[in-house]
Amino acid sequence: MSIAAEPYAFPFAPETCALLVIDMQRDFLEPGGFGAALGNDVSLLRRTIAPNRRLLDAWRGAGLQVLHTREGHQPDLSDLPEAKKTRARSALTIGDAGPMGRILVRGEKGHAIIPELAPLPAEPVIDKPGKGALWATDLHATLQRLGIRQLVVTGVTTEVCVHTTVREANDRGYDCLVPADCVGSYFPDLHAAALKMISAQGGIFGWVSHSDHVLAALSP
Ligand code: TIU
């Protein structure tokens, strides 16, 4: 079975392929959240909700593995390196009081996954302190235990947490497919460049496709 993709068809093996939904959190996506408070146009991210919802429904319907991630830190910020705190500084920074609680702190309202894409009880939710989902988490061990070798990676933002995760996963031997309509960025030029980087050079980090092609492969 294959999925139409760039730079060439993705050799889809459903039983060993997981859907990994990155950081679809209220603070990044909701009009009253952290991203919006910084002046970002959250509609650029919100356009990914409907295609993610369709993909999630089909993926669950096919009985395949789903995992979710959330970016965030312990309330005492003991897992927040000074480098990340400094680099993320804007009008608000990690740990500050934001419109939906403390920014990127676990347990706060803004840290939660948006209700439209709420995880089911059986779906692992990986809390990650970094941009990549494989650093300082048990995601790699979890995927190994589940027998997963391929990832369909969706979520936000394309050039930050999605990209870092795809790079980390590719280096660990996972084949990664990114459906372009299911990932989003506040910066359209960076989104486009990030997608090109994944499939360039013969697919140096992975494959880029569209959710329609993934759905077609899932339909009976
Ligand atoms: N999830 C994620 O991408 N976190 C970010 O901080 N993204 C930005 O684009 N800043």
Cβ contacts of residue 211 below 8 Å, gap of 6+? 51, 52, 54, 55, 179, 181, 182
For ligand 1, whether the C-beta of 183 sits within 6 Å is no
Each residue of 45-102: pLDDT tens digit? 999 999 999 999 999 999 999 999 999 999 999 999 999 988 877 888 899 999 999 9
- Kindly report, residue by residue over 131-178, the tens digit of the pLDDT: 999 999 999 999 999 999 999 999 999 999 999 999 999 999 999 999
Distance 77 CA to ligand 1 centre (A): 18
Alpha carbon 78 to its chain's center: 24
* Catalytic choice (23, 27, 127, 175): 23
Distance between terminal CA atoms of the chain? 12
What angle is formed at CA 202 by the lines to CA 19 and CA 167, rounded to 5 degrees? 45
Q: Decide: 27 in ligand 1 pocket, CB within 6 A.
A: no
Nearest-angstrom CA–CA distance, 57 and 34: 28
Question: Which phi and psi (to 5°) does residue 120 adopt?
Answer: -80, 155
Least confident of 34-43, 65-74, 117-126: 34-43
Query: What are the distances in angstroms from CA 67 to CA 20, 60, 157, 208?
Result: 5, 11, 17, 19
Q: How far apart, in whole angstroms, are the C-alpha atoms of residue 74 and residue 118?
A: 21
What's the whole-model pTM score? 0.98
Q: Mean pLDDT over all residues of the chain?
A: 96
| Ligand 1: centre distance to CA 1 (Å) | 33
Alpha-carbon gap, residue 130 to 134, rounded angstroms: 9
Residue 161 annotated to the active site: yes
The residue with tokens 């990044």 is: 28
For ligand 1, atom 4, the nearest C-alpha belongs to: 161
Span 39-43, mean pLDDT? 95
